[in-house]
Chain A
Amino acid sequence: MEITSSLSNEIARYLDLDTRQIQLTSANMANIDTPGYRAVGMDFEAEMRRIMAGSDGEGIGTETGITPHVFEVDGLIVRPDGNNVSMDRESLNLAEAQLKFKVGVALLKGQYTGLMDAIHADSK
């Protein structure tokens, strides 16, 4: 039974992708003092567009999960010990990812509330 719309599935994928982004950012932060470590990242918007174009309301419980393309970030200054993680960039990414997560949760809640209201229409 298809109880959720394709839009709420897309929002769920958005939350998945955002979790992945936070994971990458916190991995970078953890390795800020490791010699020779290069910062990793992903292109959030491109991945989200790929997901929205590719899927047509597939179920949330897919086993494959999200596998975005993760690459080493260019354009960062490399310090003498070989590490190129920038504290400011990672802090900004962390704050942005947190806010995106809150937005996604609020949108998903709105979708589910509307559906529940329709189900409980007669008891109002």
Chain B
Amino acid sequence: MVPVTLAAVSLFGASLGPPSAAPSTALPTFPAIGAEGVLSAVGDGSAVLAGPPAPFADLLTEAVGQVQHLEQQAKSAIEGLISGRGVDVHEAMIASQKAGMGFELVLAVRNKALAAYQQVMGMQF
């Protein structure tokens, strides 16, 4: 389960890049949580809080939306293939595989987040 742990690490640690506003055929990307919200240096040497970090619920919703878009693309590719509208077999296979992988990624993130939440709730102080 290496890809899953990589996804979890990148979620809670490093930045993956700017949040994608428009849907694309890439796998869902998760914008960095809190990395921009901690500290940023300004010209006069003082550190200012850059802005509120993106709420986690929105991230997950956006990722689910991207997966839904991938599923829609896969469905139209498959329908194009079976109705003989010129879609190649490999296109349909790749599209359906991407949708499957995107779904698995979001599922894994959801599981990890749930586990982390339960761990936090179990703390005693």
Contact = CB atoms under 8 A, between A and B. Distances in A.
Task: Assign chain A's interface to a size class.
Answer: 20 to 34
B78 A107 contact: yes
A118 B103 contact: yes
B75 A44 contact: no
A48 B104 contact: no
Contacts of A110: 96-97, 100
A103 B111 contact: no
Given A52-B83, A110-B100, A114-B103, A11 B78 contact: yes
Contacts of B116: none
A117 B92 contact: no
B79 interface: yes
B107 interface: yes
B89 interface: yes
A124 B92 contact: no
B110 to A, nearest CB: 8
Contacts of B92: 107
A63 interface: no
B60 to A, nearest CB: 14
A10 B107 CA distance: 26
Given A10-B82, A49-B83, A124-B108, 16 more contacts: A11-B82, A14-B82, A45-B83, A48-B82, A48-B84, A49-B84, A52-B82, A107-B78, A107-B81, A107-B82, A107-B96, A110-B100, A114-B99, A117-B104, A118-B103, A124-B111
Interface of A: 7, 10-11, 14, 44-45, 48-49, 52, 103-104, 106-107, 110, 113-114, 117-118, 121-122, 124
25 contacts: A7-B78, A7-B79, A11-B78, A11-B82, A45-B83, A45-B84, A48-B82, A48-B84, A49-B83, A49-B84, A52-B79, A103-B89, A106-B93, A107-B82, A107-B92, A110-B97, A110-B100, A113-B100, A114-B100, A117-B103, A117-B104, A117-B107, A118-B103, A118-B107, A121-B111
